[in-house]
Structure 1
Amino acid sequence: MTASPRPCPAQVPDSSAALRLARFFAAGCLGQALAALVRAGVVREMARDRPSVDELAHRTGTDPATLSRFLRAGEAAGVFVEDPPHHFALSDTGELLAEGPGSLGGLLELANTAPVLAAWSAAEHTLRTGESAFAAVHGSSVFDHLAQAPTLAGAVGRAMGASVAAELVPASVDLPSARHVVDVGAGGARLLTALLAAQPHLVGTLVGVPTAAREQVAEELRRSGVRSRCRLPDGEVLPQDGDVYLLCHVLPCLDDEDAVSLLRSLVPVLREGARLLVIGFVPSARDRTPVIPALDVWMAAMCGGRQRTEHEYSALLDRAGLLLHARHGVRPDTECVLEVVRR
């Protein structure tokens, strides 16, 4: 009997390499599972106390057996902790899903909404053309879609909760000398609400809030006790009397031409002493964390935009007649503030 030939090394799967690839599949599944738990209110209830699975299912209107499976998937990833049996709590990682400053729950929810998932299914369109897959699938840009889609607009607003800009801006810029702060292209009210609450002398204006999100934004301002100090005008006309103008995670949503166009529209209102703060990730050309390239691909597929280095931002600003005056924050894996003035 002739023995079967042994496969050459190239034919033998590398189990460690296969496991690394399998983790990408698992991460996608887990992301959707966690987003479902956020939307169903499960994470909110877990942040309050540590109920049993049955009690948690009763509170949230979910199926107990399936809820247990979802929670165990999260436990395997270190998001939840089971203690005692059949009682799950948020781990240190899981606490980042709960509502509040720095929450990543809204970002995870946004990434797993139906319109975004449909766009991701057409990512090959972006790969081949360099154009937005979202626009190809839905027939309109993300921004036009937001104006008529309250669910997606709300998810965008909640996703902004992941930003630490509310802590970063006061630590970087002398706000006591300012009076009027204008948030341009605001996806929500969280940043300006936090600034107004912490700085009682400030008044604010939110420009560019999607129509579908206006009532939700106004209610957030009321709950925070700052509605009387914040204007919420129709349209996108920029106030002329701002001391500080904010662009928080806006420019990465735009291609270079649209980004320059937006920046040029700000030049006339940046009178002497006024400043523009561009807030977002600004990776170095060489030292990019794994998150930044993933966000770069996300921006390409969703908006046709991109993440940019400091050099690339400087080039955009120069084309618009602006000057990068200072950079606050130096770590590539966290947000930073680019302080911009007229040239």
Structure 2
Amino acid sequence: MNLTQKRWFLLGVACLINLFAGSIYAWSVFAAPLAERLADITGAPVTPGDLAVAFSLANGLAPIPMIFGGAVNDRFGPRFVIPAGGLLMGAGLWFSGHAGSVLELVLTYGLFFGLGLGLVYGAAVNTTMKFFPDRRRLVGGLTTGAYGISSVLLPPVAAHWIAACGITSALELVGTAVGAVIVAGGLLLRACPPDFRPEGFVPAQTPGIAAGAQRDWRGMLRSREFLPMLLLLTCGATAGMMVISQGFTIAKTQMGLDVAAASMAVSFVALANTFGRLSAGAASDYLGRVRTLGLGLAVAIAGLGMLSLAGPDAAALFYLGLLSLGFSFGCFMGVYPGFTAQVFGSRNNSVNFGIHSCPN
């Protein structure tokens, strides 16, 4: 099997890795029982909002190893970076179930899990994109879509495990599965040779940046495109991350849903997120990436408006708001890896995309 054929197998492995890396989107299911557990241990009131710092730290730290891990990935390959990240993610989830204070949870989930997530996600997406210069939009949609679909599958499973065996055992199970699959998948991946070109592929010779400029992070930071792209991603991703991190709590407090229904609401956001990732690439083929992202931003604004008006007597607005925000977030996450590669070149995309992700 030549590399043009084998790259499809490598794409499948990367999607499986990202499917398990997307376990971060189940945070809102874990937050409430973790808060109850810590309240019992400390004897002081603890709410899911008090634990939001752990989720925020994990998201805030993830782009940092994407930057440095991207440089390591470019030099040593994914067989080193992804297993290391998988071990950190698995350990972070496992020990989060044993945390005895909010500070310990911040360290285990926010630090260990967040650092591991950045290593895994960045290496998986950018490694496979280099194998597909002829299908960059498709691969960006599939790899980020697999990451998003985890939040469709995991919340109901996690809620079942929590009800059956408690939050500690549930996090042990999730951590073991996440660590084992990501480590194994990372060992199966390989770096893309610098001179690789798929059979029959002829690089586009369109004028402008996309015609072949390869900018490193220094050239990207000096470019006139960097700041507008950074601000656009920040605006587009913030609304979705707020709802993803607190969706379970919002569903229970604002809408009065029970645990099972609130878990399904989280999965509903995740499903919209996944659909947004998969469909945004196809939409950008017709509309262009900038117009697609502009549409995604408008959908996010509408979603926030609907969610602010929702309540027990306006359930339709609640679910439409979740749908809009999940779709918009998926749109940005599905388009931006390819967008940065188009503007700044694919050679340094591991680092360049990581820098764009830092505020998000």
TM-score tier (shorter): under 0.3
The structure that is strand-richer by fraction is 1
Normalised by the length of structure 1, the TM-score is 0.25
The structure that is helix-richer by fraction is 2
Larger Rg: 1
Normalised by the length of structure 2, the TM-score is 0.24
